[in-house]
Each structure stands twice: as C-alpha cells, then as structure tokens.
Structure 1
Amino acid sequence: MVFKNLGLQEEILRAIEDLGFETPTPIQEQAITQILAGNADDIVGLAQTGTGKTAAFGLPLLQMINPADRATQGIVICPTRELCLQISNGLQDFSKYLPKINVVPVYGGASIEKQIKDIRRGAHIIVATPGRLIDLIKKNVVKLDTIKYAVLDEADEMFNMGFHDDIDEILSYAPEERKIWLFSATMSKEVEKIAKKYMNEPLEISVGHRNQSATNIDHNYFMVEGRNRYAALKRVIDFYPEIFGVIFCRTRRETQEVSESLAKDGYNAEALHGDLSQAQRDYVMRKFRERSVQLLVATDVAARGIDVNDVTHVINYNLPDDLESYTHRSGRTGRAGKSGVSIILVTPREVNRIKDLSRFIKKEINYTKVPSGHDICQNQLFSLVDRINNVEVKEDEVDKFLPSIYESLQELSKEELIQRFVSVEFNRFLDYYRGAEDINARERRGGSRDRNDRFGSRDGGRDRRGGREGSRDSRDGARSGERRGKRNFNGNSERFFMNLGEMDKINKGALVRIICDNTGINSASLGSIDLRREYSFFDVDKQVAGKVLTKLHGAQHQGRKIKVEIAQKRKRS
C-alpha cells in the first residue's frame, strides 16, 4: 500500500512526497482509509508511540477542512508544549500546498497576546495544550461552537497528567454533532471513560494488541542492589559506546542528581525536568535534537511528547509508578520502524514487577547481567578501531605534517605504533575497570527495601575513599544487617542513638559498615538495629560501647557529622 491509494488529494500527496514518505504505517493506512470513507463519526486509534499517529489523523483532517470558511473547524488537544509544536509543525508541512489553511499552535509558557493575534487572523485548526486552550476560551478568543473535528492525541498521557477535568470542560463547549478522534498508545480506564462519555459507537482501530509495546524494541532488565544503581548505569553507558539515549528518573531531584553525577564523571548528559524554565527546557531539547547532548536525563512529565529520531536506548533508572508510563518511556526509541533497546534497573525486591510489566506490554523482558569490566573494555576497543577505520582523512591538511611525524615515529614497528595509538584513548577504560567487581544482585525473598542509592561513586564495588567496601567485618555486617534483628548479649548491651536515618540514603547494611569502619569493632558485636526516617538506634556489646562512643561520635559520613549518644541518656534529657 502507498499513500496514493488512500484517497488523499493531490496537494497533500505532493507534500508527503517532498517529505520523502512513500509507504504509510499500519495505523496511518487504517485510520486514513476509514476516516475518508466516512465509516464512523468517532474513532479510537491505538498504536505504539513513534508509529506516525500525527499523519494518521492530520492528513484526513487537512483534507476535510473548508479553506473558504474562516471559522475554526478542528482542534487537536495534546498534553505538552513539545508535542503541541511537533503536531503543528507536522500539519504545516503536510499543508505546504494548501496555503489557505491556517494552523495555529497555542500552549503555556509563551506569549498569549501573540497567540490571540494569530487566532484572530484566522485559525482553521488549533493545536493546543488543555490549560492554554481553556484560558483562550474564557477570554472569548477561541469559540468551539463551529468545530467539526476534535482530536485527542496521546490521550492516556493527558489523563495521567491530570487533565481529565480540563478535557471535560473543553468538550462541553463543542457542538454535539462534532466528531471525536481519540489516539493513544494505551487503552487506560480513563481513556475508556472518555470514549463512553463523549463518543457514539466509536470505531476502534488497533495496531497490534491493546497496550502492546512496539515489536522493534528489545526489553531487558538488570538486577542490582540499590547502592549499585548508579554504578550499573555507568556500566551500561560504557558498554554501548555509540549510545544516544534517554534516562528516566522518578523525581526532579533524582533527575538533577543523576545528570550532575554523570557530567562530573565525564559523560555528555543534561537534565530535563519541571524545575527548569521553559527557555532552559527548549535549550536542552535543542541540544539533544542536534546530538550535541548524548544523554538526556528526564522525568516522565518533562519527556512526554519528545519526538527525536534515532534514539538508540531508553534506560529506566527506576521503574515508573504505573505500567502505562513504561510504554511511553520505551516508545522514545524504536521510532519510524527503527530498532531500539529499553533497559530497566531493578533491585531484587522489585523484580516481581517485571513480570507484571511483561504481561502488560505483551513482550518478554529479558534478564541480562550487568556488563563486566572486561566486556566494556572489549566493546570500547572495537568501537575505537571502527572509528579509526571509518575516519575521514583530509589529505590536504594532514600531508604537510606527515614528514616530521614519520621521522619522530620511525623507530616504532607497525605493531608498536598501532598498540600505542590505541592505548592513548583506551588506557582510561583499562585503568578504570581493572579489578571491577561483579555488581549483579541475586533475587531474594523478604528483607527491607534498599534505599542506599548513591551518586557519583567510582563504582558500585568501591566506597567513597576509593578502596574496597570496607573490612571483612563490615562486608559481613552488610550481608547480615537485614537479619540481625533480635541478637542480645545476655543483658550486657548498650543501646545507642545515631543521627543518621533513611533520609541519608542508608539501609541497615550500610549502617553496619559505617559503625565497623569507623570503630574497628567486629560486626558480631552489634545487636538489633532500628532504622528510622531521620535517625536510628542500635545495640552493641557493652565491652565495646566505649570505643563506639569515642570513635564514632564526630566522624563524617558523606560530609555530615555523625552524632552518637547513649539512648537512655538521650531519653532523660
């Protein structure tokens, strides 16, 4: 099937040809055919992110607009500014040879006065974010009583972002005879509610199964302890030398911390989150689209609507809170028929969610081991060799320097020359990963959630001082900290208060390491540990209580001064 066989008018076909498109995607073929044939007033189109839904509704919408009527005839509602601009630019490209049709984008964060002027000059189609569209309706600038077509794009995302009431309000201004075309990557309960409430026996067009992930994306997960999450992220990035990807985090703070840590460790990364101004977000996105930024670290909200070609990898630094969000995350890669990879970092306690997620996207999510230092060095070496093989040689510029270079290197054999040339760039990976430990975690049952996510450490197997993870006693303590529980010393123990807790990103095992490393005591001298949000209590054998008090009180943990007191004294005070 080609676009010429779908019933599109000549002017639109010329624009499509100029853009280099010949064959429609499955969602485009089905939606355009059904809409132009008039087989249903209302349409529900379900397809994965990156399958060309803009053209699926945009091409027939342009063809059905009457350019002689200056009134607004169609609205396209979408969740974010980025997507709003993307859709409006797409419609303007498609209407290249339809100069009398005006498409106007309206969104928050930009001058409302300019948008009002653009609308009053005539807007056959308005592409809008919900909030700004409501503002313009209330100002009597936009009147929806003339619209014939209402498109809800990325509908599931809009409802996830809390726009349900806004959509209700917008559609209440539209005439009852308007047609609604709803396009979404997943069929959530909120989407079904809108379909039932506002649509009349809608025709469902579904590419693949409902909520299914794109078939050209490989899904993998790595299982690590929480304290090794950042180290695993770095290993994944180093394992793929040509990576161009998006790293998803849960919170704005985590996004900023991860991007700053990556930048500090020499990676080309930028953050994208809601605390940035619109100008800052535009600047970061422009750099990412131009590929002057290799890694975009983003929250779900900030990254919605991102449409950047050739993203090779999506890395889920944490699992999203809801299953639908994972579909949108992974959809940032594998766009326009290209292949992509989606990677998830999980702790042993989270691994059961992988099974639920796999059932939801109807694809296998494969367990993969975190790359070893040897594997990373091998990939980096072969990548360097490929770059040398394919580098463009500018002979006119280089030749004038070659005689002196030949003279200075003439004592080296061909093998020695290659060896030294490769080592110039490769040595840093060899030095960094020499002796790197295996940071893969084993699946376990029970135990408390590991909250010790650290940023900026050299690797998961090393502490901030650059050595191994403490003494044998402290490592044993880390392993047994979760099961220490009810050990007692026949009444001969002392209970201590410490000013470190879960908010300091430590777990019981980490607390054991802190105590043993700073005092030199054996982990067997530790009893029960009670970890709270802002502080903790722990029991020790009375024989070493004095050493704990003198050596641990006043010590430092990640720049914070440790305070230790005997718990009974603290209670009396």
Structure 2
Amino acid sequence: MGDQEKHLAPGSCHRISAVCRPQCAGRGGHWRVNQRQRKTFLSVSLSLSLSTLPVKKKKKKIARLNIHPSLGVLIELEKRVRPSCTSKANCRTSVMQDKSRGSCKPRAARRGRSGYALWAELKLHFPASRASPTYFREPANKMAASVEHDSPSEVSEAAVEEEETKTFKDLGVTDVLCEACDQLGWTKPTKIQIEAIPLALQGRDIIGLAETGSGKTGAFALPILNALLETPQRLFALVLTPTRELAFQISEQFEALGSSIGVHCAVIVGGIDSMSQSLALAKKPHIVIATPGRLIDHLENTKGFNLRALKYLVMDEADRILNMDFETEVDKILKVIPRDRKTFLFSATMTKKVQKLQRAALKNPVKCAVSSKYQTVEKLQQYYIFIPSKFKDTYLVYILNELAGNSFMIFCSTCNNTQRTALLLRNLGFTAIPLHGQMSQSKRLGSLNKFKAKARSILLATDVASRGLDIPHVDVVVNFDIPTHSKDYIHRVGRTARAGRSGKAITFVTQYDVELFQRIEHLIGKKLPVFPTQDDEVMMLTERVAEAQRFARMELREHGEKKKRAREDVGDNDDTEGAMGVRNKVAGGKMKKRKGR
C-alpha cells in the first residue's frame, strides 16, 4: 500500500491483531500488525515494546502504550498474549488464521519466553480532540514505542502544524514580566513555553521534554517569578543543575527577568569559597541555584540555612544530574524540603532514571513534550568526516581554515586532550581557549566569558560545556572526539542552531569510532552526509601540524611539572619562613665558626 493514505476519523476506536516472532518474544521484540488487516485498515507497521506484556500469566493485563507523535494514537492491550508453537510456518497459521487455543501447543523442549509466539488483540484509540482528521503514511523506518506505567495523568504534545502566534500575555504572564521579556528580545514564546507556562501557572507539577535551545529556562523561570510576585517570600525556589556554568547562566536569566521586581539569587556551586556562599545564603535570597553536592554541604554545615519553606523545586537537565551520580544527594534534598511544593523536571532526554525520579518526586504531573524522540534542530546542518586517527589534528586545522570567520566549539573526551589541542591551535596562530573540569572555577568562568564576548573565536571543551549553556554566536560545533554516549551528541550539537538560528555540526569518525557513530545515526534517525574535504590540501598541512604537536606536548609536560611542584609545596607553606630562618642561622653559624678559626 506504500504511500497510499488512509483516512481515520478522530475519536474512533479500531481493533487489530498483532503477532511477535518466537525469537523476539519477551526480550523487547517487535509486534507486527496482521498483514491482511494492515492492507485493509492501516498502511503503517507498528513496532511495540514487549517489556511489560505477560507471557505465562493467565490473568488479563491491560497496558497502555504510547505511539510515535506523528501517529497520535493510544494502543490498549485488550486480550492477553498466549503461547503458540515455535515453528514459523505453524505460528503463521495458528496465530494469523486459527484463533482456537488447542490447535497448537508449544514444544516441551523449548523453555522460557523465547519458545513462544505471542498473539494479542489490540485496540487503537484515535483522539477526538484533534481539529482535523488524522492521516497515516508508511514511514521510512520503524517507529518505536515506549511502554509507560505510572505515566502522567495528562499528556500535552505540541502540534506539528504551525500554531497561532501567541504572546507571553496570552499565556497568563503578568505585564511586568512581559516587559522584561521584551527587553531581553523574547518577542514570542517557544513551543515548550506555550505548553508549560499555562499549566505551571495553574499549580501543576510538570515534566518538560524539549530539544536543546528551545527555551526551557524561560518555561520554568517565568511561572516562578509570576508566583513570587503574588506571594513574596525569601527562599522561594530551588533550581538544581548538573554543572557550575549552567548554574551561573540560569542565575543571570532569573536576575534579568526579575530586575524590575528586585529578585535576588544565590549561586551555590563547587570551586568557590564556601564562606562567601554562606554569607549569601544568610541574606535569604529569593532563588537558590545550586549543584547538588555543594547544596548538601551547606544544608549540613551552614547554621540557620534550611529549605523548609520552599515553594518550588526545579531540576534542569535532570538526566545529566542523575547520570553524574548525584542520586544520593538528590534523595537527601528531597527529604529536607516540603512535600507540598511544586516540582518542575526539565530535560532534553527521558531516561529510566528520570522516570524513576518522576515517580518519587512529582505529584500527578503533566507531561509537556515538544519532541518525544531524540532529535536535533531542523536548521542544524550535520556532517561527518571519516579519517585515520593519526590525522585528526591535521583535519581539524584544515576545517578551521576552511570555515574561517566563524566561531567554533570543539568537544574533546578528556581534560588532557582538551588542553593539548588548545596549545596546538595556539602554536598555529588560532585564538583558542580551553574549558574543562581540571581548571579552577575562576579560570573556567574567565574562558567562558572571553568566548561569549567574542575575544576568542574557538572554545575547546569537555562535556562540562555540552549542557544548557546558551552562547548565541556559536556557528560550528566540532566533535573532535566522538561522544561515548550517543545521547550526549544531541546536547553537544545543541550548542549551535539555537533559538531559530542555523548552524553546522561536524563529527570526526576514526576507524575506532564506527560503532559509536552508527548508534548516533540510529538515535537521531537519519544518515549524515560527508563533509567535503580536499585530501591533497589537508596533507600539505601535515608538517606544520606535526611541529605544533611537538611544542604542545612540551608545554603540556612543563605545565604538569609545575602543578606537581606546586602540590608538593602546599604542605610546607606554613613553615616556609621558619625553614628560611633555619637555613640562615645554619649559614651564619658556619660563617662564625670560620671567622673564629
């Protein structure tokens, strides 16, 4: 049936049969719609998860399964699955045609779930709320569906079609904050803001899922400030973030939006003197933006500081918070804050850990999803270059020359490689600056501010800079080292093409990275084109790059030795003057003895 379209009336309900192959049963295999019914009913191949469908249990079990947003349907398992024979031919006969249970029995030799063919009666519900009828078209690739049990009570999905232009005032934001949005250049709300802000103003808990650069910060900052205007209170809201740089950025946005109403924020992160942070907390700011580890430190050790009167909790980039082993800290924080708070959980990706946190921390939440699968921004041009690993530096220099005049963010996998590559590019005359976890907090902020102020055109960073940072003028993102986790690719390339602008992303793929790259392509659902290069021109740069590599290694070695000497001297700092005095006395004693002689 291919590209033929089938009209389905909104609000209707249809039944279909589905079968799972024996080898896939019980292991997350794919359900296939009956071929005959698919011809007469649907021109789409449904692919559902088996993770919660019962195989051996006899009792009826209902499971609700969400299908891809372009389908916009809910599927309900109406009849339980049943065992059948393991022969493919017999399975096709018994499952598709013969519905009697006794006609086909599983082989005794086969044990466990893998020995069964599964059959189920599924009921498809088409939402009546849609204004226009739903159409289905054969997809290019299979559409995966995720099983959700304790799913939020309501699911709010941004429509694919262009909606009527809305303003912040239409969403219920007060005039004072609307003026602040105008001053910041926020002319109209983004999709996630249109979905989340009205629900947040109604006092609902929210799970916000949207791609990077979609305005998630505004989606939780505006409702919090709106509520703060109505009921002014100190220590009103807490925002948890995974990285220090993101915490400072969120603080800047809160202060910019609340400048006319006198909002005070405190940033509580590691790498900064805790005494100054204790003084800031003693002044009782309205908003606290913190990383979980340092916040726990202050809750345990700073006298007079508590969050018993907290009204709002926000977890920004929640998946990264949990992936960075902050689970125990988050659990401790949840125990010391009020249960009757409002909770906002925002992320670009939904993981199992986030689902677990959702059940523990949120009450009857509303899910606001403008993208239910992992995806990148439409205006982002993505490429890859397949190169031998020993020529990575040479190809990087070639790309920087080819795309000269643009600003670059180059992502490396380790702090050492970030520092080495920055030194290499500096030796070749590029204005490059590093940003990684081994730098002090003041140096990290200095690097970021220089890049934001366009004093440097190239920022080399680890994944510490891949989340949430809003740097408007990033033109090109280069994945110098391919990310180990394919979801991190979404966040890295999200540093460019933000807020409707265009951008480029180029990924270096060596002979050792092919599998990781294929996972990324599978995740984003598209094949990336090759970035055009002139290999002859690249090879002409080899000699210069090799010399710069040698100088970079020497500088890195010297830097390491200096740090080592500094660490060794740290323990003797208190006794330096005393040691000098002892040496002088010893020297003086020798001189006196000599004179005496």
The corresponding residue for 2:290 is 128
Q: Would the aligned equivalents of 1:236 and 1:371 in 2 still touch at CA under 8 Å?
A: no
Is 1:29 aligned with 2:194? Answer: yes
The Cα of 1:137 is off from its aligned counterpart by: 1.1
From 64, 68, 74, the counterpart of 2:227: 64
Assess, with a 3 A threshold, how the Cα gap between structure 1 residues 364 and 37 changes in structure 2: closer, same or farther.
Answer: farther
Q: Would the aligned equivalents of 2:484 and 2:516 in 1 still touch at CA under 8 Å?
A: no
From 255, 259, 275, the counterpart of 1:96: 259
The corresponding residue for 2:318 is 155
From 328, 332, 339, the counterpart of 1:165: 328
Letter in 2 for 1:118: A
Q: Would the aligned equivalents of 2:268 and 2:295 in 1 still touch at CA under 8 Å?
A: yes
The Cα of 1:135 is off from its aligned counterpart by: 1.5
From 162, 180, 183, the counterpart of 2:343: 180
Is 1:457 aligned with 2:550? Answer: no
Output the TM-score relative to the length of structure 1.
Answer: 0.63
Distance 1:36 1:363 in 2: 38
Distance 1:136 1:175 in 2: 18
Assess, with a 3 A threshold, how the Cα gap between structure 1 residues 300 and 13 changes in structure 2: closer, same or farther.
Answer: same
Q: Would the aligned equivalents of 2:486 and 2:516 in 1 still touch at CA under 8 Å?
A: no
The Cα of 1:189 is off from its aligned counterpart by: 2.1
For 1:111-126, what aligned pairs fall within 5 Å after superposition? 111-126=273-288
Distance 2:323 2:488 in 1: 8
Distance 1:51 1:64 in 2: 23
Distance 1:301 1:246 in 2: 12
Q: Would the aligned equivalents of 1:119 and 1:141 in 2 still touch at CA under 8 Å?
A: no
Q: Would the aligned equivalents of 1:212 and 1:363 in 2 still touch at CA under 8 Å?
A: no
Q: Would the aligned equivalents of 1:235 and 1:371 in 2 still touch at CA under 8 Å?
A: no
Assess, with a 3 A threshold, how the Cα gap between structure 1 residues 178 and 70 changes in structure 2: closer, same or farther.
Answer: closer
The Cα of 1:140 is off from its aligned counterpart by: 4.0
RMSD: 2.4
Instruction: Give a deviation string over 1:356-396, Cα, whole Å, max 9, x none.
Output: 2122123442233434456xxxxxxxxxxxxxxxxxxxxxx
Instruction: Give a deviation string over 1:81-109, Cα, whole Å, max 9, x none.
Output: 2111111111111112222x433222222
Letter in 2 for 1:220: Y
Tell me the secondary structure at the aligned position of residue 313 of structure 2: strand
The Cα of 1:347 is off from its aligned counterpart by: 1.4
The Cα of 1:69 is off from its aligned counterpart by: 4.8
Is 1:341 aligned with 2:493? Answer: no
Is 1:18 aligned with 2:193? Answer: no
Is 1:252 aligned with 2:415? Answer: yes
Is 1:105 aligned with 2:267? Answer: yes
For 1:113-512, what aligned pairs fall within 5 Å after superposition? 113-138=275-300, 139-372=302-535, 436=540, 456-457=545-546
Q: Would the aligned equivalents of 1:268 and 1:293 in 2 still touch at CA under 8 Å?
A: yes
Instruction: Give a deviation string over 1:51-104, Cα, whole Å, max 9, x none.
Output: 1111110001111126765442211111122111111111111112222x4332
The Cα of 1:9 is off from its aligned counterpart by: 0.8
Distance 2:353 2:544 in 1: 37
Q: Would the aligned equivalents of 1:272 and 1:303 in 2 still touch at CA under 8 Å?
A: no
Tell me the secondary structure at the aligned position of residue 201 of structure 1: coil
The Cα of 1:116 is off from its aligned counterpart by: 2.3
Q: Would the aligned equivalents of 1:152 and 1:183 in 2 still touch at CA under 8 Å?
A: yes
Tell me the secondary structure at the aligned position of residue 113 of structure 1: helix
Instruction: Give a deviation string over 1:281-323, Cα, whole Å, max 9, x none.
Output: 1221121111111111111125544321110011011111111
Q: Would the aligned equivalents of 1:149 and 1:180 in 2 still touch at CA under 8 Å?
A: yes
Q: Would the aligned equivalents of 1:116 and 1:141 in 2 still touch at CA under 8 Å?
A: no
Letter in 2 for 1:176: R
The corresponding residue for 1:530 is none
Contiguous gaps of at least 5 residues in structure 1: 375-432, 440-453, 465-573
Distance 1:458 1:345 in 2: 22
The corresponding residue for 1:51 is 214
Q: Would the aligned equivalents of 1:221 and 1:367 in 2 still touch at CA under 8 Å?
A: yes
Assess, with a 3 A threshold, how the Cα gap between structure 1 residues 69 and 23 changes in structure 2: closer, same or farther.
Answer: closer
Q: Would the aligned equivalents of 1:48 and 1:214 in 2 still touch at CA under 8 Å?
A: yes
Distance 1:293 1:363 in 2: 33
The Cα of 1:122 is off from its aligned counterpart by: 2.6
For 1:510-525, what aligned pairs fall within 5 Å after superposition? none
The Cα of 1:118 is off from its aligned counterpart by: 2.6
Q: Would the aligned equivalents of 1:46 and 1:186 in 2 still touch at CA under 8 Å?
A: yes
The Cα of 1:121 is off from its aligned counterpart by: 2.2
Output the TM-score relative to the length of structure 2.
Answer: 0.61
Letter in 1 for 2:408: G
Distance 1:267 1:14 in 2: 41
Distance 1:91 1:363 in 2: 37
Tell me the secondary structure at the aligned position of residue 336 of structure 1: coil
Distance 1:81 1:70 in 2: 25
Letter in 2 for 1:17: D
Instruction: Give a deviation string over 1:406-447, Cα, whole Å, max 9, x none.
Output: xxxxxxxxxxxxxxxxxxxxxxxxxxx6x749x9xxxxxxxx
The corresponding residue for 1:447 is none
Distance 1:66 1:3 in 2: 16
Instruction: Give a deviation string over 1:156-211, Cα, whole Å, max 9, x none.
Output: 22223222221111111112222210011111222122112222332111112332
Q: Would the aligned equivalents of 2:506 and 2:531 in 1 still touch at CA under 8 Å?
A: no
Distance 1:63 1:33 in 2: 11
Letter in 2 for 1:112: S
Instruction: Give a deviation string over 1:138-171, Cα, whole Å, max 9, x none.
Output: 1244322211210001112222322222111111
Count of residues in Structure 1 that have an aligned counterpart in Structure 2: 384
The sequence identity of aligned pairs, in percent, is: 34
The corresponding residue for 1:568 is none
Q: Would the aligned equivalents of 2:487 and 2:520 in 1 still touch at CA under 8 Å?
A: no
Distance 2:465 2:187 in 1: 33
Q: Would the aligned equivalents of 1:131 and 1:166 in 2 still touch at CA under 8 Å?
A: yes
Distance 1:177 1:314 in 2: 42
The Cα of 1:28 is off from its aligned counterpart by: 1.1
Letter in 2 for 1:7: G
Distance 2:207 2:502 in 1: 26
Query: Which deviates more from structure 2 when the two are superposed, residues 299-308 or residues 58-67?
Result: 299-308
The corresponding residue for 2:174 is 9
Q: Would the aligned equivalents of 2:317 and 2:467 in 1 still touch at CA under 8 Å?
A: no
Distance 1:277 1:303 in 2: 18
Q: Would the aligned equivalents of 2:466 and 2:491 in 1 still touch at CA under 8 Å?
A: no
Letter in 1 for 2:459: L
